[in-house]
Amino acid sequence: MYFNAKEKEQEFYSNPLKMLSQRALDRRSTQNIALDFKDVPISENFISILKKVSGIQIMATSKWMNAIHIRGSQNAVNSLKNYDFVSKIEFAANTLNPTNIVSKASIPKNKRLKKEKSVFANKETADLQIKMLNGQVLHQHHYTGSGKIIAVLDAGFLGVDKAVPFKQLRDNNQILGAYNFVNRNDAVYTQDSHGTNVLSTMAAYTENSLIGTAIDASYYLFVTEDVSVENPVEESLWVEAAEKADSLGVDIINSSLGYTEFDNPAYNHTYEQRNGSTAFISKAAEIAFSRGMLVVVSAGNEGTTKDPYIVTPADAPSVIAVGAVDENKNRVNFSSVGPTFDGRIKPDIMALGQNTVVSDENGNSVYLSGSSFSAPLISGMLACLWQAYPEKTNQEIKKILLESSTNYSTPDNQYGYGIPDFKLALANKANSGDENLQYFVAYPNPASDAVSVHFPADFNKGKMFFYNVLGQKVLERKILDLETNFSVAPLSNGLYFYKIESDFFSRYGKIIKN
């Protein structure tokens, strides 16, 4: 049920710390994001009035949507339209709404990974999931997520308070807070270990075993998934958690949850509704991005079903939806595909999702599969990348991510923009204005017949290599002068990566040939 107003708007604008933490305000300021109506809290007076209505139960609230999630009979719910502060009412059952898309009944399935086995994993495979992304390069430059905050929205975090892989996280007070939105309490280390598995890919630290992608980041742990049911209220709880993450100043939201089908098929999201602007959770994910956060979600595990398309909120335009590949970088057949109903490319990128190494609730490193684990691998690496680019906006970080991916010039609905190369992403610092890296940048970009590169006065000699998107070397040129022109006329149109190399260093970049 949506409200048509909020109370005390100006008071909150004049005292923004009543709405958001200082860190959240700083994030807004850095990215030039103004406060607006969505930031103002929902009216407690309206809620108090509705709590007194017989037969109505308030399940969740959303200030971004200026709405509440309620339960009650159809008659009781419709009676609320008599209140002058009520704007509109939407039923979870599509057939009850004035304009509707009828869901097709199907067998409900769990949107989380079903862990059928726990096979002990080895360090070589654990290293692979980072090296596939060239994430070790960021780590070697001491970008390990320090100063960044990730909110993990999931089903439960069994063992995180005790297991050895999370000891460093606990000892360094990197868990900044935790809340169970399902049970309305602080009990998050209960019920389920899916969140444990997800968190471990980012935060676990076990010498010679499993090391996460962002071991020095800080984390909020939020339970939004009710493991006992499949109900639309879980979407609303997710939205509450995302709003809380925003208010706390979180940088990245990771969510390995997705919604298409519910216990009651009347509530299902049809493919037609996966357009980025219909599902409640997808609309909220888009708002979360507009607040300056990155939102990283699993694409889904529905690739082999009769409905193989990405789940919500992966359909939201600004969300980074991550699909699953195997150790050979081939898409795993269960990984959900695109496009969205309105024709946009999805998933956005890919990461290891078959036999990913995670920690179980007992601290064992085991293999599990699902796009549930592809997403947090990327979230952790993005925390490291953003640490390297503290001045960048979330939009700029996402752009760098996509441009560094293997399929950037020819994205499709199986692989999206491909597998990110964070070594290449880090090389973008050459364009960041850093005085030590202002040279070695090929221009113009895009180029047609030739590119030029400036070199510092103390540069001696070296070579420049051009590679296609498959990593194959297609051109090699010697560097002879401090300003050198390189002909790229022999190259076909498309995206190329280049490396400038001497005896003492190497620099990376990318260029588009028109």
- Please say if 154 is a catalytic residue: yes
Residues pairing with 441 in the sheet? none
Which one of the listed residues 372, 379, 404, 405 is annotated catalytic? 372
Residue carrying the six token digits 């958690």: 241
Query: Is 194 marked active-site?
Result: yes
Kindly compute the dihedral angle of the four CA atoms of residues 439, 440, 441, 444, in this order, to the nearest 10 degrees. Answer: 100
Beta strands in 361-417 (DSSP E): 365-368
Q: Which of 194, 246, 404, 421 is catalytic?
A: 194
H or E segment and range at residue 222: strand 218-223
Q: With left for phi above 0 and alpha for psi between -120 and 50, is residue 441 left, alpha or beta?
A: beta
Q: What span, in angstroms and rounded, lies between the C-alpha atoms of 85 and 164? A: 52
d(CA 322, CA 346) in angstroms, rounded, equals 9
| Integer Cα distance of 360 and 54 in angstroms | 45
Continuous H helices in 57-193: 74-79, 123-131, 135-140, 167-171
In this structure, the dihedral spanned by the alpha carbons of residues 113, 117, 122 and 125, taken in order and rounded to 10 degrees, is -40
Computed from CA positions of residues 36, 39, 40, 44, in that sequence, does the dihedral angle turn out positive or negative?
positive
Catalytic entry in 43, 62, 154, 336: 154
Which residues participate in catalysis according to the annotation? 154, 194, 372
